[in-house]
Amino acid sequence: MTTRRTALAGLSAAAAFPTTGAGPALGDAERALAARAASWLETLGEARGDFVQTDSRGRVSRGEVFLRRPGRARFAYAPPSSLLVVADGVNVSVADPRLKTFERYPLAATPLALFLSRRIRLDGDARVTAVRRTSSGFEVTARDTRRAHEGQIALAFTDSPLALAGWTVTDAQGRSTRVQLEGLRAVSGLPSSLFVLDDPRPRSPGRGKM
């Protein structure tokens, strides 16, 4: 069963590149690949596709993803999960209608803010700890050295054509959550309603505003 914690760990990892810190020096070829990755992310406007998420216990969840940069994303999990994760440009909201739960976090406090920002800030060796070639492209591993104990993120890109293929988050305990993107493609005209998620729970006198 997909949990809210697993969902946030897997999906917020799309933010990839930390905002500060020092890392090992990268070679010219590695920096060039990292720069290609950042440039591709910057040029991504609206997109949609599917995702497959595998957590550290091997549990698999599927769903559909919609993106509208800057600031907006929607991750809709397929049954039996009922999770919905939406970034509306200001906040990231996580709703589970089956469990009747709803949580909201400032977008700026999540890694999604970096991925969804208008400009991807990346200077190679200060934020990216490793870049390696894979059979289908390359992988960029990043760590926020201000919070190095929290783990790392590895983004996978296909090389021809250049595209984000997925990402893997590894936490401080060595547990990994992997998200694979399938059929992610540029689109236009996504309805704004996709990126709005209000608290569905009925209001009660004892529940304050979130």
List the 137-142 sheet strands across, edge first: 101-106, 91-96, 84-88, 72-77, 60-68, 46-54, 176-187, 162-170, 152-159, 137-142, 128-133
Q: Is the pLDDT of residue 182 over 50?
A: yes
Percentage of the chain with pLDDT > 70? 72
Q: Which pLDDT does position 35 carry in this prediction?
A: 87
Q: Which amino acid is at 175?
A: R
Q: Count the neighbouring beta carbons within 10 Å of the beta carbon of residue 59.
A: 14
Under DSSP, the state recorded for 53 is E
Q: Peptide bond before 205: cis, by omega within 30 degrees of 0?
A: no
Rounded-to-integer distance, Cα 196 and Cα 89, Å: 9
Rounded-to-integer distance, Cα 138 and Cα 167, Å: 11
Query: Terminus-to-terminus CA distance in the chain, angstroms?
Result: 26
Q: Residue 166 — left, alpha, or beta (φ > 0 → left; ψ -120 to 50 → alpha)?
A: left
| Cβ-contact 4, 83 below 8 angstroms | yes
Does 11 or 80 have the greater pLDDT score? 80
Alpha helices (runs of H) in 22-131, residue ranges in sequence order: 28-43, 112-116
- β pairing state of 84-88 and 91-96: antiparallel
Does 172 or 42 have the greater pLDDT score? 42
Q: Is the pLDDT of residue 161 over 80?
A: yes
Quickly tell me which residue has 């999540």 as its tokens.
Answer: 110
Mean pLDDT computed over 72-83: 92
Q: Which pLDDT does position 111 carry in this prediction?
A: 58
Q: Count the neighbouring beta carbons within 10 Å of the beta carbon of residue 5.
A: 11
Confidence of residue 131 (pLDDT cuts 50, 70, 90): very high
